[in-house]
Amino acid sequence: MSTNKKNRADFINFRHLFSSYLSHWYLFAISVVVFGALGYLYSRTKNPVYDVRANVLIQEEGNNLLSNFGSLGELFGSGAKVDDEIFRLTSHSIYRDVAKNLGINKIHIVRSGFLKHELAYPDFPVDVTCDASIPDTLSSTLSFKININKKGLADVTVKAKKETIAEVEDMAVPATIDTPYGKFTVVKTKYYPEGESVKTTIAFMSYGSAAEKLAEDIGSDIPSRKGNVITLFINTENPEYGRDLLNDVIATYNNHGITDNNMQTTKTLEFIEDRLVSIGHDLNEAETNIRKFKENNSLVAFEYEAQYQTEKRGKIEEALLAAQTNADILKMTLDFFKDPANKYSLVPVSVDEKGIAAAISEYNTVVLKRIDLLENASPGSLTVRSLETQLDAMRENLRTSLERTYDNALVTLNDFKKEHEAVLGRMGQVPNQEYEYVDLRRQQEIKQQLYLFLLQRKEETSIMLANALPKGVVVDEAYVLSDPISINSKIYIVIFLLLGLLFPPVCLYLRKVIRNRFDSRTEVEDAITTPILGEMCADRSGKTLIATAENHSSSAELFRLIRSNLLFMLNNADDKVVLLTSTTSGEGKSFISINLAASLALLGKKVLLVGMDIRKPRLNEYLSISTRFGLTQYLSTDSIQLDQIINHVPEVKGLDVITSGPVPPNPAELLASEKVDELFQQLRTMYDFIVVDSAPVGMVSDTFTLSRISDATIYVCRINYTPLSDLKFIQDIYDENRLKKLSVVVNGTTTKKAYGYGYGSEQ
């Protein structure tokens, strides 16, 4: 029987689904008209959108004037990859400077027709100015709604997060407005039409927020992975705005690049000048030693002999000189690197070892990234600390490589010295003074060679500083594609008309399917064969106990109707215990239990309400009763007597209550104990009716356990709350006879749909 009922219900729902479409034909008519009008209005509000593009070529380092100076390109790292340059080109710092340069942290919107607004740039009639520090600290975007009449008097409303924070009326322009964020002044621009009224809205945001918006609006692309060209593009209603924006992004990127390069070059120049002072002092000292040696030993004629001997060992001397120079340069670089004062500083690439030069170049690249980040982030931020960790690791590796290379250079130098000493040993005929003189001369030549080398590097670095070139070469300045990319207005109207046809059936279908809740007693009756004991309309009084003698409201009368039906169902004189349950909490089970018990007591009967939802007790809260002992304490110990747990409800004569008591550790076992049976045997002799508020059956099995002590069961379900799937669960319980004399109370109906609504009502 249940299966037939369910199939019939499914058929009715399926039929009603389509018949409801026909019965709601007016919804289709209204929807088509409304959506058609919306489509027309929407098409009128849309401005043409243009695609603005710009192409920039990223130069490889060394492809410039300085490549003519040979090793000068090794002073710093090699050219960055195009992907890295895209990151720099579209970075927050670049966009922030662009927003500041163009003032696009202020978006001016003016009306350009019926329901149509457009971005005013650059010819906006009114502007908002403030102290230069405010855009750096502004935490919220401010909206200035400005109306200036023909007399030049302004009404200004300032909003932040949709809340009005300042408002002035009939104020002469320029008009200053005090806000929690500072003072702002509304001023006229050269484009202001004197003698005419002006209405405009200005969104004023921080430079940081403007940069974030630019990051969303501007796109980038690499047309060819084999090339170094980057394409920037933006879709905008104002082509001039798009052109100025992209051109300034490229210009700002180049300015940042030149600044970074100049920073590196200046650091190298300072290092070279410092070393020139030190080496110059050593060179002067070497030349002074030669002069004193000549004076002390009267050496004049044998200089030619020494020169002759020097030419004989020319090759070994040249090799020794080169080895000594290389070792000194490595030592200077290593000393610079070990100095803690130079931590996280740019390191000059002055060594000839290509591996070390490349590693230092990579180190400098990361240092520059850290410098860029510190412009907009705190030193303790996660990103900065991550870069510093990377720099520490790279610095340690470089120091190890420099020490190893320097040790190898010393070994090579010592080998040449030994070979040189061997040659000198074979020249025994040359006076000892000559050998000493040659050694002094060699030291002087080494210092002189190093000094000249540093002078050359200083000159090259100065040329680099004076001829800094931008990394990005503009291939195409920002240009606008000829055809707008926005959709034709007729297409908008057609799309909205189709939406108007689809909207009603979709809404009706979703309401039936996605809702998954029943919304009437009739729907419950169609779905199950379980008897419906009654229904309860939603009560707006806010009271828990409404079934009182003086209350004749619709809700109270419905409880009397449920009481009558219940008494008819309890046709046996021994039927006294009524069990109330539901699927889950929140369906009104305890509310129905309390008022059903009160309604029975109004008949002059002695009624007991027992709270047996011992896992989540609520009767104390609903009835505002403070009890010392409860049911769980009585069942778990023999020291508490029955009369100690029974409390009277003062609002209703003849109604007593046993509350649940504290939550026990073993609720299932406690309810299955023999003491429960003994308790109810005794209570049956004391009361005419016993109403048991038990636990929801969809969550725990306590109600099925208590079925043994009951005579009838009321299952409470709630409109627009209980899922439709729970109705099948109720039907299964009824078919399997798992609960005695099962019936259903539908809670939450509307008073207009409630059976017997209004008859005898005084409210």
Under the banding of pLDDT at 50, 70 and 90, the label for residue 11 is very low
Is the pLDDT at 12 greater than 70? The verdict is no
Is the pLDDT at 313 greater than 70? The verdict is no
535 vs 758, which has greater pLDDT?
535
Instruction: Specify the CATH class of 106-205 in words.
Output: mainly beta
- DSSP, collapsed to helix, strand or coil, labels residue 650 as coil
Which residues lie across from 106 on neighbouring strands? 204
Under the banding of pLDDT at 50, 70 and 90, the label for residue 467 is low
Is the pLDDT at 300 greater than 60? The verdict is no
Which residues lie across from 509 on neighbouring strands? none
Q: What is the pLDDT of residue 756?
A: 45
Under the banding of pLDDT at 50, 70 and 90, the label for residue 434 is low
Is the pLDDT at 184 greater than 90? The verdict is yes
The rounded distance, in Å, linking the Cα atoms of 630 and 607 is 18
Q: Kindly state the average pLDDT of the residues 323-335.
A: 81
| Cα angle, residue 459 at apex, residues 455 and 462 outer, rounded to 5° | 135
Q: What is the pLDDT of residue 222?
A: 87
95 vs 469, which has greater pLDDT?
95
- DSSP, collapsed to helix, strand or coil, labels residue 581 as strand
Tens digits of per-residue pLDDT, 188-234?
999 888 888 889 999 999 999 999 999 998 998 888 877 888 899 99
- DSSP, collapsed to helix, strand or coil, labels residue 542 as coil
The rounded distance, in Å, linking the Cα atoms of 263 and 361 is 14
Residue found by looking up tokens 């908002």 in the block: 128
Q: What is the pLDDT of residue 307?
A: 58
Q: What is the pLDDT of residue 386?
A: 84
The rounded distance, in Å, linking the Cα atoms of 369 and 261 is 13
The rounded distance, in Å, linking the Cα atoms of 95 and 106 is 14
Under the banding of pLDDT at 50, 70 and 90, the label for residue 279 is confident
Least confident of 171-180, 228-237, 288-297: 288-297
Q: What is the pLDDT of residue 742?
A: 94
- DSSP designation for 380: T
675 vs 346, which has greater pLDDT?
675
Percent of the chain with pLDDT over 70: 86
User: Who contacts 546 (Cβ-Cβ below 8 Å, separation ≥6)?
Assistant: 539, 553, 555, 556, 559, 595
Which residues lie across from 116 on neighbouring strands? 113
Is the pLDDT at 30 greater than 50? The verdict is yes
Q: Say which amino acid occupies 568.
A: F
Tens digits of per-residue pLDDT, 63-93?
443 343 344 344 443 334 788 888 888 889 8
Question: What average pLDDT is seen over the chain?
Answer: 81
Is the pLDDT at 514 greater than 80? The verdict is no
Tell me if 694 sits within 8 A of 612, measured CB to CB: yes
Question: What percent of the chain is helix, strand and coil (3-state, nearest 5)?
Answer: 50, 20, 30
Least confident of 406-415, 453-462, 613-622: 453-462
Is the pLDDT at 579 greater than 90? The verdict is yes
> Using CA of residue 416, residue 421, residue 426, residue 431, what is the dihedral sign?
positive
Least confident of 143-152, 452-461, 738-747: 452-461
Is the pLDDT at 508 greater than 80? The verdict is no
The continuous run of DSSP H or E covering 420 comes out as helix 382-425
736 vs 60, which has greater pLDDT?
736
The rounded distance, in Å, linking the Cα atoms of 82 and 59 is 9
Q: What is the pLDDT of residue 61?
A: 58
Q: Where are the domains of the chain?
A: 2-46+488-513, 106-205, 274-468, 521-749
Q: What is the pLDDT of residue 23?
A: 64
CATH topology of domain 521-749: Rossmann fold (3.40.50)
Q: What is the dihedral of CA 436, 438, 440, 443, to 10 degrees?
A: -140
Q: What is the pLDDT of residue 760?
A: 43
Tens digits of per-residue pLDDT, 519-544?
778 878 888 999 999 998 877 777 88
Q: What is the per-residue DSSP string for 90-137?
A: T-HHHHHHHHHHHTTTEEEEEEEETTEEEE--S--SEEEEE-TTHHHH
Is 288 exposed, middle or buried, given 0-12, 13-18 or 19+ CB atoms closer than 10 A?
exposed
- DSSP, collapsed to helix, strand or coil, labels residue 691 as strand
Under the banding of pLDDT at 50, 70 and 90, the label for residue 546 is confident
The rounded distance, in Å, linking the Cα atoms of 577 and 596 is 12
**What is the value of pTM for the model shown?**
0.46
Q: Inter-axis angle of helices 432-466 and 314-338, to 10 degrees?
A: 50
Tell me if 110 sits within 8 A of 98, measured CB to CB: no
Is the pLDDT at 693 greater than 90? The verdict is yes
Q: Is the peptide bond before 223 cis (omega within 30 degrees of 0)?
A: no
The continuous run of DSSP H or E covering 77 comes out as none
Q: What is the pLDDT of residue 349?
A: 60
Q: Inter-axis angle of helices 554-569 and 589-601, to 10 degrees?
A: 80
Return the CA Rg of the chain: 46
Tell me if 741 sits within 8 A of 705, measured CB to CB: no
Under the banding of pLDDT at 50, 70 and 90, the label for residue 1 is very low
Is the pLDDT at 10 greater than 80? The verdict is no
Q: How many Cβ atoms sit within 10 Å of the Cβ of residue 516?
A: 11
Q: What is the pLDDT of residue 487?
A: 62
Q: What is the pLDDT of residue 80?
A: 46
Tens digits of per-residue pLDDT, 144-165?
999 999 888 999 999 998 899 9
Tell me if 707 sits within 8 A of 737, measured CB to CB: no
- DSSP designation for 244: H
Percent of the chain with pLDDT over 90: 24
User: Who contacts 499 (Cβ-Cβ below 8 Å, separation ≥6)?
Assistant: 35
